[in-house]
Amino acid sequence: DAKTTQPTSMDCAEGRAANLPCNHSTISGNEYVYWYRQIHSQGPQYIIHGLKNNETNEMASLIITEDRKSSTLILPHATLRDTAVYYCIVRVRSNDYKLSFGAGTTVTVRA
């Protein structure tokens, strides 16, 4: 699986868009990008995933660069409840679908 690099931490203002970067320069053609988040003391929560096209759902948008070497998760209007650790994971969709969680980015939304 391709390795991902995320900033250790970042702050954003409540009500503003939060843009979370992820580098995955060794990604291969059949690897998907997944994003999860973990709010303190809770189980991780699936946010979104994509292969090469930009994706949007009710929680967030995922922008993947044309060369697929990096991606950005966008939380359009961050709230205090979005404070969490965000994990970017790159994985082949194989028949076991194991996901490996790294250290992630600690995002703090400030009032």
Partner 1 sequence: NAGVTQTPKFRILKIGQSMTLQCTQDMNHNYMYWYRQDPGMGLKLIYYSVGAGITDKGEVPNGYNVSRSTTEDFPLRLELAAPSQTSVYFCASGRGDGGYTFGSGTRLTVV
Q: Report the distance separating Cα 29 and Cα 17, nearest Å.
A: 29
Beta carbon of residue 82, minimum distance to partner 1 (angstroms, whole number):
17
Among 89, 37, 86, 33, which Cα is nearest to 62's?
33
Q: Which of 40, 41, 58, 111 binds partner 1 (CB under 8 A)?
A: 41
- From residue 47 to residue 86, the character string flagging contacts with partner 1 as x (rule: CB under 8 A) and all else as - is --x-------------------------------------
Least Cβ distance, residue 60 to partner 1 (angstroms) = 13
For residues 22 and 70, the answer to whether their CB atoms sit within 8 Å is yes
Q: For CA atoms 55, 10, 87, 66, give the dihedral sign.
A: positive
Choosing from 3, 46, 80, 108, the residue that interacts with partner 1 (CB under 8 A) is: 46
